Amino acid sequence: MWMTRVLSAALLMLGLAAAPAAADSSPSPSASGDSSAPTSAGTSFRTATEIEQGQQATASGSTGDYLYWSFPADAGQRPTVKATVKLPAAHAAQTWQIDVYDGLRRRQACQYGAQTRTAAPGTASVDLACTLRTVRAWSEAWANDPLPGTYYIRLTVVNLATADLGQPIGASVQADAKDIGGSAAVDGSLAKPLVPGIAVTSKSQSDEGDSSKSAVLSSIEPEDGWASGWWSDRWVWTAVGAALAALAGIGGYALTRGAGRPSRMPPGA
């Protein structure tokens, strides 16, 4: 009977620990129908149009333009960027590419996805995608790991016939993120997320001696705010593992405690 109770308690603890992990692993909802979604793109890192995760932004441009957007990504998230380029009715073969840069403007490699695609002559549109590595809360200075902060999307054509230069195109982009959870947690965190201008203090604030505020060039951040970096569901699984180990030790002792006792039967019985 007591073994049944111990097993029931262990299963209950596993269920409670798995519930938040399963919730975290769901992708961000799509908000493509949001009327507040941007309808233009920037032409450089400094003028990149800000978008939220799950928000589908659109823009009009010309072949040969560089189109830029930016979005926030926090520790433990694995961002995926998707883009669709609508091409003119008549065109030669074109090769389009989507690049993603972190807050230090370091180009981040795609784990998987069609980052570069060639549209055959007459093709109406081309779809691109790039899934990054999981964003880490902390990294060595020499590493190129993705870190929390602002991420930049750059969309451009890399192979274009001269006759097609300047033709009108339409573009749509969307950035989503999947929460990976404690499996990607590290011991450490950045003092501040890599957001443009977060360490820049205006002159008026310096004159007043107020160092608590700073001039931030980017206003976007995750829906729930930036993570502190110390908490993850890895702590839950560690606690559950410790509890299960304790229960297993108690159970093993209860099963074997009578094996080494001397017999109490009288001699010759």
Burial of 99 (0-12, 13-18, 19+ CB in 10 A): buried
Question: Can you state the angle between helices 2-24 and 234-256, rounded to 10 degrees?
Answer: 170
At 197, the amino acid letter reads G
Q: How far is CA 227 from the centre of its chain?
A: 12
Query: What is the per-residue burial (b if ≥16 Cβ within 10 Å, else e) of 235-248?
Result: ebbeebeeeeeeee
- Supply the Cα-derived Rg of the chain in whole angstroms: 27
What is the DSSP pairing of strand 49-50 with strand 67-73? parallel
CA 49/CA 40 separation, integer angstroms? 7
Residue located via tokens 């795609």? 110
Per-residue pLDDT of the chain (269 residues; tens, 9 = 90+): 444 454 455 444 545 444 444 444 433 333 345 668 899 999 999 999 999 999 999 999 999 999 999 999 988 899 999 999 999 989 999 999 999 999 889 999 999 999 999 999 989 999 999 999 999 888 777 888 889 999 999 999 999 989 999 999 999 999 999 988 665 566 667 777 888 865 444 444 444 454 444 444 566 777 766 765 455 565 566 677 777 888 888 877 778 876 555 555 566 65
At 160, the amino acid letter reads L
Position 257 scores a pLDDT of 73
Distances (CA, A) of 55 to 20, 29, 139, 151, 218: 24, 9, 29, 14, 17
Distances (CA, A) of 39 to 47, 54, 69, 173, 254: 14, 15, 11, 10, 68
Beta strands in the chain (DSSP E): 49-50, 56-62, 67-73, 77-86, 94-101, 107-108, 116-119, 125-131, 149-159, 168-179
CATH architecture of 13-238: Sandwich (2.60)
Position 267 scores a pLDDT of 61
Position 21 scores a pLDDT of 43
Name 81's bridge partners. Answer: 130, 175
Domain boundaries, the chain: 13-238
**The total number of residues written for the chain in this structure:** 269
Q: Look up the pTM and report it.
A: 0.69
- Would the CA dihedral through 158, 160, 165, 171 be positive or negative? negative
| String of DSSP letters for 68-134 | EEEEEE-TTEEEEEEEEEEPPSS---EEEEEEEE-TT-PEEPPSBS--EEEEPTT-SEEEEEEEPPP
